[in-house]
Structure 1
Amino acid sequence: MRIALFGGSFDPPHRGHLAFAQRALEALGPDRLLWLPAGRQWQKPGQVMAAGG
């Protein structure tokens, strides 16, 4: 099984993230694509993340 990981802060997730994930599926053809949200934004230290829904 081929698994692709899509990591990022996704804070907040938006259509651009979804479009990128779709392109990765088309280009790489994995069996699964897993979103891997980061616990902290490395480029924005001290910022509070959006609440999950």
Structure 2
Amino acid sequence: LKASVLMYKVWNLWKERNRRVFEGKSAQPQQVVVFIKEEMALRRQACGSPVIL
């Protein structure tokens, strides 16, 4: 579980970096945390677990 949480954190940090570089937009750190939680919730709904196998 810890590895999957780390993966979601890194993935969303990467997406935020790309948003800033390529779109000229930025989110507050708190919003990035919300994005991470939303993605984990969507994964949990779709697969029953946030774990990526």
TM-score of the superposition, structure 2-length normalised? 0.40
**Larger C-alpha radius of gyration, 1 or 2?**
1
Higher helix residue share: 2
Higher strand residue share: 1
User: Whose RCO is larger (CA < 8 A, sep 6+)?
Assistant: 1
TM-score of the superposition, structure 1-length normalised? 0.40
